[in-house]
Amino acid sequence: MENHIFTFHQFYNFNHAWYVSVAIEHAMIAMAPALAQISRWDLGGVSIDFDPVKQQPVIYIYDAYRGGIGISEQLYFNLTELLNLSFKLIESCSCKSSNGCPACVMSPKCGNNNDPL
């Protein structure tokens, strides 16, 4: 299985980093049920265009329950597999547009109404 772990420094244009991180966040949440007995509604996510501590964009995936119930921790320990599944979702999008499209990464629960996509 190909490993898709990367840093945002690999992107040629940091201006697009937030849009890319939102797409990856949505894909990760969409694919999480394949690794844990959950629904995408059991998770939340936030993408930040530039974290001053990390000095790069970051994606946070968290349990959608006060105090947490261990879902995000389980996903953390399976992060490589989750990212591989997420990128397969994006790569297998049926639109085949050279410019891409947001169809495969839109989320019904996006707090930004999927506007970044």
| pLDDT tens digits, 65-116 | 999 999 999 999 999 999 999 988 888 877 766 666 777 787 777 777 666 7
Element counts in the chain: helices (H) and strands (E): 3, 2
**What pTM does this model have?**
0.80
- How large a percentage of the chain has pLDDT more than 70? 78
Name the region of 47 (left: φ>0; alpha: ψ -120 to 50; beta: rest). Answer: beta
60: its two tokens: 């946070």
pLDDT beyond 60 at 10 = no
- The alpha-helical segments, DSSP class H, found in the chain are 17-31, 71-76, 79-91
Averaged pLDDT score across all residues of the chain: 81
Distances (CA, A) of 53 to 3, 12, 24, 56: 26, 21, 21, 8
Question: Distance between CA 62 and CA 47 in Å, rounded?
Answer: 12
2-16: average pLDDT: 53
